Amino acid sequence: MTFLTLLPLAVVMVAGTQLVAAVFFASSDRPRAASLGYLAGAAFVVLGGTTLAWLVVHLFKINFTGAGRGTVERWIDWFVLALLAMLAVVVFLRRHSGPPRWMGELQHAGPGYAAKVGLLLFLGMPSDDLTMATVGASAARHDLPWWHLLPFVLLTLALLALPLFALLLLGRRAAVVLPRIRDWANSHSWLVSEAVIVLFVVITALDLMK
């Protein structure tokens, strides 16, 4: 496994409410400031969450050597599979949940409030917590150094920044594009998430079969 294998899980991180919130911020009274605040809050949580999972598994592994280390790696693989199974269930159950009502207030958000939303939204979403744990644990299980988490974090932020990029590149035409991004995230993003989860299940299962 390399850091490239972890990258598709960034789609799971942002699919649904997270991307919808980014659209609202890009359509707000202060779109650039609010969007950057939201990205800052999200970056803090994603980097911290994946780092914590990586550190816990890494410290757990260094206590074992030889045959014991191989057994521990199998335990970690089963743990990751359990996380992925829970993640698949959470994504499926939330597929028609839609954005919460409070998102209508984001139209008037400043950067400070947007940063708090980014923090709380990514901390409070079970799908994000499970994804961060999966990424960090998988990286540590395959002895990837900590910095290999950074491409995953950066891709997550880049996907969240898509509405802001649309605003900067398209100007007034973004008023047409942004609602389409929002509607797609509401309707179809869960299917992409499930496909990514299945792919990662296959990769982890292959590790177990070695």
Closest CA to 18 of 131, 149, 108, 110: 131
Assess whether pLDDT exceeds 80 at residue 171: no
CA dihedral for 83, 88, 94, 100, sign (positive or negative): positive
Assess whether pLDDT exceeds 70 at residue 62: yes
Q: What is the per-residue pLDDT for 39?
A: 95
Q: Which residue's structure tokens are 């991004």?
A: 181
Across 4-27, average pLDDT: 86
Cα 38 from Cα 56, distance rounded (Å) = 27
Q: What is the per-residue pLDDT for 64?
A: 64
- Relative orientation angle of helices 150-160 and 17-26, to the nearest 10 degrees: 50
- Looking at 67-71, 78-82, 87-91, 136-140, which range is the least confident one? 67-71
N residues, the chain:
210
Cα 26 from Cα 29, distance rounded (Å) = 9
Closest CA to 162 of 9, 53, 27, 8: 27
Q: How many C-beta neighbours within 10 Å does residue 97 have?
A: 11
When mean pLDDT is compared over 4-18, 54-68, 85-99, 131-145, the highest value belongs to 131-145
pLDDT of 128-151, one tens digit each? Answer: 899 999 999 999 988 999 999 999
pLDDT of 73-86, one tens digit each? Answer: 788 888 888 888 88
- Looking at 57-61, 107-111, 112-116, which range is the least confident one? 107-111
CA distances from 181 to 48, 102, 112, 136 (A): 28, 19, 24, 29
Spell out the domain ranges in the chain: 3-209
